[in-house]
Structure 1
Amino acid sequence: MKDTATVTTRTWRLDDTAPGTGTRQTMVLAAEHDRLPQVVYWGAPLPPEADLATLAAAHAIDVTGGMLDANPDLSLCPEAVRSFPGQPGLILRGEDGTPLLPKFHYASEDGSDGLALTYTDPENGLALTFRLTPDPSTRIVQLKTILTSERPVHLHWLAAPVLPAPQHSSEMIDVAGRWTGEFQLNRTPWSAGIRYRENRTGRTGHEHFPGLIVPATGATNTQGEAWGFHYGWSGGHRMIAEELPDGRRQIQFGHAARMETKPATRFESATLYVTYSPYGLNGCAVAFQRHARDRIVTWPDDARSRPVHYNCWEAVYFDHKLPVLTDIASRAAALGAERFVLDDGWFGQRDDDTRSLSDWTVDARKYPDGLGPLISHVHGLGMTFGIWFEPEMINPDSDIHRAHPDWALGGDDQTLGRQQKALNMALPEVRDFIYDRMAAILSAHDIDYVKWDHNRVLPMPDADQTRGSYALIDRLRAAFPQVEIESCASGGGRIDFGILKRTQRVWLSDSNDALERLRIQHDAALFLPLAVTGSHVGPRRCHTSGRILDISFRAWVAAQRHMGFEMDPRELDEHEARVLTEVTAWWKANRDWMTLADIHRLDAPDPAILAEQQQHRTGDRFVVFAGKAATSTQIAPRPLRLTALEPDATYQIELINRASAPALSRGNPILKDGPIDVSGTWLMHHGITLPWHFPETMWVLEGTRL
């Protein structure tokens, strides 16, 4: 950070500079007099000698008819009191409900860890602190806003530090979705006014993932500039992307409005993670992937390989019988599974989803000798054992609800979701109860994994609910540090960097349909690495779509991420078992380097193809997955360009599943004969010409730098 000052202007500079790699992005802030600072530059690295005062002055736009005599600052927290024409960054009222219009002035700064700037409003007894912390290793800048008050105030809206959006962008990309259809990318043109998205469901949500990519005009996955944003909070958020009448654009992220239900003297935003990319959407994706894997997630054992999962849900649902489960476990281990996860149905009187949530005691009807015999059998097969909980939820038909109806969040007449209510996680007695029940199970058995589910939205948004859930998970992590946790919320309903600080895996979707998963995984890679993204080989006939897909396609799609199985292995014929065993063995042989690899989305010239390149950080090796999701309009496959290679290096490329070419692939492309040695320039500018293949199939290529 470089700090300069003149009589009327303060300027600051943030660079993410890593040893041996140089600076990858620069952010410059400036403030006139003692006003709040605004970002006057964010993008490609500037020369060290750049005159920041000149940049601040050159950033200013002209004034003409129909405008104020000076343009109000688009600051880190735009102030309504200064005639700002757009959405303000702070809305609050006094304890008696009187609206407050703060006007902040410079107070102090601290450059010991990035940059912290504090501004005060003595008249209203308020202080506002902005924290900006670049991470040179991951190319992520972490931003946070903190508001303190001498007297309790009611908060309506507090934005994380507000950033300008680029003028040379024609659209923005945000993320929508639904159950079994998560991570759907929306491309919305910039226009005058607001792109306003708010999730008020009380969890991260299938519908409104808290992420945004703003590409420069013409940017693709692999080229052009892009700016990325992710708000790391699990309780519902608001995003504002606004184009002002003068043409300037702002991006705001914060908690969903009115989530703070009580007056207080301190509020803070969650962390907003941002990055700039000079090489397309992939630059943002790689930064988010690395930051999640290397900075956000804490691993019980860094050296342990990611184990192949088997989850019994779609094999037995609630019908738990010990002989059936032990047989299934034996078959799963023979296929290559290394962790057996016992899903919903092991507790209380849980024969369906209408009862017993929160009665976390083992069902003696199904397990007369407890869980011990099943766990011993699983361990005897060389697998570890995981178990399902839905700790934050309660069925009205449960012993605990009958004893403590006041523990449920919301009114008695609320609309149920999956026949359940949410527990009030703000109550210490509720958290103590859940902790004691879960700790009893985890203490009594050798369990290394919890699938933590969250199957309904909340009756109303409340930040205390999210903070209470975080506190419970933190307490359990401290008491059982060897236990990994998966965040599941009807699939991908709670995925963000806030929950990933406390968990090690996310269940991306309840859809095990490989065709749907291919697209969901491809788009989720803009934010999520392989290491945390669970993907399972589902049944021959998918339970959520009814689609029947070949075992090879199902297996290779699961092998793109943290691999597992979730079907009844008794349905597999000899061919299916052999293919699944072979693909699983390939995944195990490659998982250690793939876990640390960057996932680059490729620009396929055929819209039927969804392709990605998973590349070791050193660039020495990579694997390309080219999935065909639909029928192509042309007859022969178009060449697929790769990315992020050394132009002058030579790479050996091998189509490792070439034996699966169909009979209609009648030609003899060279890749069907064996590996080829070609240059990085050829791979990136001409591209790989693959053999013909059917829809709903996958080609897999391995690349090695020679």
Structure 2
Amino acid sequence: MTTDCWRLDSFAQTLVLAATDARLPEVVYWGAPLPKGCDLGAVTAAHPMDVTGGMLDANPPLSICPEADRSFPGQPGLALRDAQGHALRPRLRLGEVEEDRDRLVIRCADADLGLSYVARIAIDPDTHILTLSAEIESDTPIIVDWLAAPVLPGPQLSDEMIDMAGRWIGEFRPQRTPWSSGIRLREARTGRSGHEHFPGLIVPARGATNTGGAVWALQYGWSGGHRMVAEELPDGRRQIQFGHASATELSPVTRAATGPLLATFSGAGLNGCAIAFQRHIRDRIVQWPDPDRPRPVHYNCWEAVYFDHDVDTLKQIATRASALGAERFVLDDGWFGRRDDDTSSLGDWWIDERKFPDGLGPLIDHVQGLNMSFGLWFEPEMINADSDSFRAHPDWALGPRDQLEGRQQRVLDLTREEVRDYLFDRIGAVLRDHAIDYIKWDHNRLLPYPDAAQARGIYALLDRLRAAHPQVEIESCASGGGRIDAGILARTHRVWLSDSNDAAERLRMQHEAALFLPAAITGSHVGPRRCHTSGRIHDIRFRAWVAAQRHMGFEMDPRELTEEEAQVLTRVTAWWKANRDWTMTADIHRLDSADDAVIAEAQIAREGDRFVVFAGQAATTRQILPRPLTLAGLDPAALYRVTLANAEDLGPASRGPLALKDGPAELPGAYLMTHGLHLPRAFPDTIWVLEGTRL
């Protein structure tokens, strides 16, 4: 019996794979860093479990692609059929392994079936992210029902897993599921990542918190619907699989591939995994048009005017938004075709001369005269039956003619080259003829059925548009947060986390999304006084500071603001601009709050020399006064000066003397992370902002 071993390392983790007798490798270790001189043969020899009564004579390996034909008792990593529908059971043999310091390429084959399998595994030594993918090729067309990215083991000293559910205007709701014998399976079959099924999983070791303990985390980079399997086998072993939603290759193929699976281990709690993901997405996945350009303050006109576009009104709004600090004006839905509501004109991507008799030029000139850039809304993947485009090409719509519509619209079949060409030409003409540096790219309709080729089609269209217009930044919006994943972020630069501008809902949502997403790509807007999606009324201070936690913008009619509200919003926006050079590259540390009414985070500069804490009072504190808030991620031996940045927001609930109210407090990092800071007493739906500097 011969065994080959390989390892990949970063400062935060080690991954060890081993293959015996030229079979598929399996992960024999994934966790805290192992010593550099560690005997991998000894690690591999220690990996197998015992055998007892009622079992096979040996445990079938939990390989990177578990094989049904090797008596594996759980979910296989590959499910194939020949073109006639007969099941295929590959027996893959290890061929060559390409190895360098940070990368493995593992090639295997089943010569009898004419099938090859390639696994790619790489580690980023700076962000501490593993990237894993798999692909298969066949000499003859085959039906691919399931292909998992290289399979990783689940930890044993873990009692639960955390994934994200949600809904429209209520995204990123964590749910905790106990490990138990059998499968935890989640599948997004709507043709996009989905509000309901963010493609991520966190597996904390027993006792792990935001700031301490061992945690494993994964997220899958594919926009067309995914499948996640977390399975505990009868013998106690655990496996985690991610891949495209099952059976979404609708025709026989000779090649299929997974998306990238991003994975990481942290010995420093959930925050360690979160920061690794934040850095990797911001610094490796997103391809910025101009990396040195500061993130501009948005203004989006949707919740001000909806479809009622009038040039003079829009100019008035732009002037007001600019005075408040906006640097980009985004014209939302309603500028094209005969788009007076959501029942018509999708697909007719030419300017509505009724609303814009002189085209978009006069509005763009006005916006640019205010030193703002101009952005425009599109929903290219969709079409209304009431549109010139549909009347000319009814066959361009995906799915049956008698399908259920969503928001009075259908999906364009982007697997067809002529459809992609049409969209490229129409969108490209608008971009070519106007000074536009931003697209809000929406996606408001679920697919009639999931189709992996449709996702490849949108990727191809986005890649082509970005190559032709490299200066244009693109936001991924899908009824808000319906398409957020590392696959779409390789082609876009911002996500619209939710269609809800309710600051209380955003406070919670942004806190949970920080487990996977950085601040720089997460759009957050100051909404109207009365929120259009919840009906709640929030003070401008709360709305403004919650938006200032991420990529800040406004989305309301600024003419509704009182003079006091305008002053508050201008002041908070100026603070955001003065600090964005470091906050947009800061690490977001979720704080473990002893008071469950407080949702808090610390954004710490990459150099560690400064931080800002946002502590939101999300509900009424159970006891009379809030408990101290402990910080995280600081140097315990350093001294920090901490200032209450929004002391002007102190209200009648806070009556007593308090260090933060009296001026800057200078305290050791050890004190701040162990004892914590007493916050002023506050009413619900308020927020405290603390600025810290290392002395």
Q: TM-score, normalised by structure 2?
A: 0.99
Q: Which amino acid aligns with 1:102?
A: P
Give the structure 1 partner of residue 547 of structure 2: 558
Q: Which amino acid aligns with 2:58?
A: A
Give the structure 2 partner of residue 423 of structure 1: 412
Matched, 1:75 2:63: yes
| Match among 282, 285, 306 for residue 295 of structure 2 | 306
Matched, 1:699 2:688: yes
Give the structure 2 partner of residue 643 of structure 1: 632
| Match among 21, 35, 50 for residue 23 of structure 2 | 35
Superimposed CA distance per residue, residues 594-643 of structure 1 (whole angstroms, 9 cap, x where no aligned partner) = 11100010000111110000001111100000001111101111011111
Once residues 355 and 262 of structure 2 are traced to their aligned partners in structure 1, the CA distance between those partners, rounded to angstroms, is 46
| Match among 649, 652, 666 for residue 660 of structure 1 | 649
Once residues 129 and 479 of structure 1 are traced to their aligned partners in structure 2, the CA distance between those partners, rounded to angstroms, is 32
Give the structure 1 partner of residue 177 of structure 2: 188
Within 5 A, what are the aligned runs for 1:279-428? Answer: 279-428=268-417
Give the structure 2 partner of residue 610 of structure 1: 599
Give the structure 1 partner of residue 219 of structure 2: 230
| Match among 83, 94, 104 for residue 92 of structure 2 | 104
Give the structure 1 partner of residue 201 of structure 2: 212
CA-CA distance at 1:664 after TM superposition? 2.3
Once residues 154 and 472 of structure 1 are traced to their aligned partners in structure 2, the CA distance between those partners, rounded to angstroms, is 26
Matched, 1:88 2:76: yes
| Match among 674, 677, 683 for residue 685 of structure 1 | 674
Give the structure 1 partner of residue 578 of structure 2: 589
Within 5 A, what are the aligned runs for 1:136-155? Answer: 136-155=125-144
Superimposed CA distance per residue, residues 430-469 of structure 1 (whole angstroms, 9 cap, x where no aligned partner) = 0000111101110111000000000011000001100000
Give the structure 2 partner of residue 4 of structure 1: none
- Runs (4+) of structure 1 exceeding 4 A deviation are none
Question: Alignment partner of 1:24: what SS?
Answer: coil
Within 5 A, what are the aligned runs for 1:45-84? Answer: 45-84=33-72
| Match among 102, 105, 123 for residue 116 of structure 1 | 105
Give the structure 2 partner of residue 459 of structure 1: 448
Superimposed CA distance per residue, residues 98-122 of structure 1 (whole angstroms, 9 cap, x where no aligned partner) = 1101111111110146001111111
Q: Which amino acid aligns with 1:30?
A: A
CA-CA distance at 1:659 after TM superposition? 2.1
CA-CA distance at 1:396 after TM superposition? 0.4
Matched, 1:13 2:1: no
Question: Alignment partner of 1:535: what SS?
Answer: strand
Once residues 566 and 24 of structure 1 are traced to their aligned partners in structure 2, the CA distance between those partners, rounded to angstroms, is 40
CA-CA distance at 1:280 after TM superposition? 0.4
Once residues 353 and 214 of structure 2 are traced to their aligned partners in structure 1, the CA distance between those partners, rounded to angstroms, is 60
Q: Which amino acid aligns with 1:64?
A: T
Once residues 152 and 490 of structure 2 are traced to their aligned partners in structure 1, the CA distance between those partners, rounded to angstroms, is 24
CA-CA distance at 1:700 after TM superposition? 0.2
| Match among 612, 623, 627 for residue 623 of structure 1 | 612
CA-CA distance at 1:152 after TM superposition? 1.0
Give the structure 2 partner of residue 475 of structure 1: 464
Q: Which amino acid aligns with 1:9?
A: T
CA-CA distance at 1:8 after TM superposition? 1.7
Question: Alignment partner of 1:541: what SS?
Answer: coil
Once residues 574 and 518 of structure 2 are traced to their aligned partners in structure 1, the CA distance between those partners, rounded to angstroms, is 21
Question: Alignment partner of 2:156: what SS?
Answer: coil
Q: Which amino acid aligns with 1:8?
A: T
Question: Alignment partner of 1:111: what SS?
Answer: strand
CA-CA distance at 1:493 after TM superposition? 0.4
Identity, % of aligned positions: 67
Once residues 693 and 53 of structure 2 are traced to their aligned partners in structure 1, the CA distance between those partners, rounded to angstroms, is 61
Matched, 1:489 2:481: no
Give the structure 2 partner of residue 3 of structure 1: none
Question: Alignment partner of 1:183: what SS?
Answer: strand
Superimposed CA distance per residue, residues 338-371 of structure 1 (whole angstroms, 9 cap, x where no aligned partner) = 0000000000000000000000110010000000
CA-CA distance at 1:163 after TM superposition? 0.4
Q: Which amino acid aligns with 1:35?
A: R
CA-CA distance at 1:304 after TM superposition? 0.4
Once residues 430 and 669 of structure 1 are traced to their aligned partners in structure 2, the CA distance between those partners, rounded to angstroms, is 64
Once residues 688 and 164 of structure 1 are traced to their aligned partners in structure 2, the CA distance between those partners, rounded to angstroms, is 40
Once residues 206 and 218 of structure 1 are traced to their aligned partners in structure 2, the CA distance between those partners, rounded to angstroms, is 29
Once residues 468 and 29 of structure 1 are traced to their aligned partners in structure 2, the CA distance between those partners, rounded to angstroms, is 35
Question: Alignment partner of 2:171: what SS?
Answer: coil
Q: Which amino acid aligns with 1:98?
A: H
Query: Where does structure 2 lack aligned partners over 5 or more consecutive residues?
Result: none
Give the structure 2 partner of residue 178 of structure 1: 167
Superimposed CA distance per residue, residues 132-156 of structure 1 (whole angstroms, 9 cap, x where no aligned partner) = 0000111000001111111111100
Question: Alignment partner of 2:170: what SS?
Answer: coil
Question: Alignment partner of 2:12: what SS?
Answer: strand
Give the structure 2 partner of residue 24 of structure 1: 12
Superimposed CA distance per residue, residues 317-343 of structure 1 (whole angstroms, 9 cap, x where no aligned partner) = 000011110000000000000000000
Question: Alignment partner of 1:265: what SS?
Answer: strand
Once residues 689 and 449 of structure 1 are traced to their aligned partners in structure 2, the CA distance between those partners, rounded to angstroms, is 43
Q: Which moved more, 1:245-254 or 1:95-104?
A: 95-104
Q: Which amino acid aligns with 2:402?
A: D
Question: Alignment partner of 2:592: what SS?
Answer: coil
Give the structure 1 partner of residue 622 of structure 2: 633
RMSD, matched Cα: 0.7
Q: Which moved more, 1:27-36 or 1:553-562?
A: 27-36
Superimposed CA distance per residue, residues 63-104 of structure 1 (whole angstroms, 9 cap, x where no aligned partner) = 111111100000000000010000000000011211101111
CA-CA distance at 1:263 after TM superposition? 1.1
Once residues 439 and 664 of structure 1 are traced to their aligned partners in structure 2, the CA distance between those partners, rounded to angstroms, is 55
Once residues 438 and 259 of structure 1 are traced to their aligned partners in structure 2, the CA distance between those partners, rounded to angstroms, is 28
CA-CA distance at 1:181 after TM superposition? 0.4
Matched, 1:127 2:127: no
Once residues 48 and 506 of structure 1 are traced to their aligned partners in structure 2, the CA distance between those partners, rounded to angstroms, is 40
Superimposed CA distance per residue, residues 501-537 of structure 1 (whole angstroms, 9 cap, x where no aligned partner) = 1111000000000000001100000010011000000
CA-CA distance at 1:688 after TM superposition? 0.9
CA-CA distance at 1:297 after TM superposition? 0.4
Query: Where does structure 1 lack aligned partners over 5 or more consecutive residues?
Result: 1-6, 17-22
Once residues 130 and 277 of structure 1 are traced to their aligned partners in structure 2, the CA distance between those partners, rounded to angstroms, is 24
Once residues 645 and 662 of structure 1 are traced to their aligned partners in structure 2, the CA distance between those partners, rounded to angstroms, is 30
Give the structure 2 partner of residue 20 of structure 1: none
Within 5 A, what are the aligned runs for 1:269-280? Answer: 269-280=258-269
Once residues 264 and 386 of structure 2 are traced to their aligned partners in structure 1, the CA distance between those partners, rounded to angstroms, is 48
Superimposed CA distance per residue, residues 536-565 of structure 1 (whole angstroms, 9 cap, x where no aligned partner) = 000000000000000000000000000000
Once residues 118 and 95 of structure 1 are traced to their aligned partners in structure 2, the CA distance between those partners, rounded to angstroms, is 24
Give the structure 2 partner of residue 267 of structure 1: 256
